[in-house]
Amino acid sequence: MNDPNKVWLLPPFGQGEPKAFEAKPEILVPAMVAGWTQCDPPASEEVKTDVHD
């Protein structure tokens, strides 16, 4: 499960790598206004299921 207090945003115009932001309005709003848009977390951020039985 991903951290619910963290969101991943893509830079303006989709140029660049996604970046994690703290999910607080004072942090998100300036980024959103500047053109950052929400995206899926990178695959490496997904918590892998423990398959050891």
Determine which residue in the list 6, 16, 40, 42 makes contact with another protein, applying CB under 8 A.
6
Nearest approach, Cβ of residue 50 and another protein (Å)? 21
Residues 7-36 that bind another protein (CB under 8 A): 7, 9, 12-14, 23, 25, 28-30, 32-35
Six-digit token string for 51: 């398959």
Do the Cβ atoms of 16 and 40 come closer than 8 Å?
Answer: no
Do the Cβ atoms of 25 and 34 come closer than 8 Å?
Answer: no
Please give the Cα distance from 48 to 12 (Å, whole number).
30
Binding site for another protein (CB under 8 A): 1, 4-7, 9, 12-14, 23, 25, 28-30, 32-35, 37-38
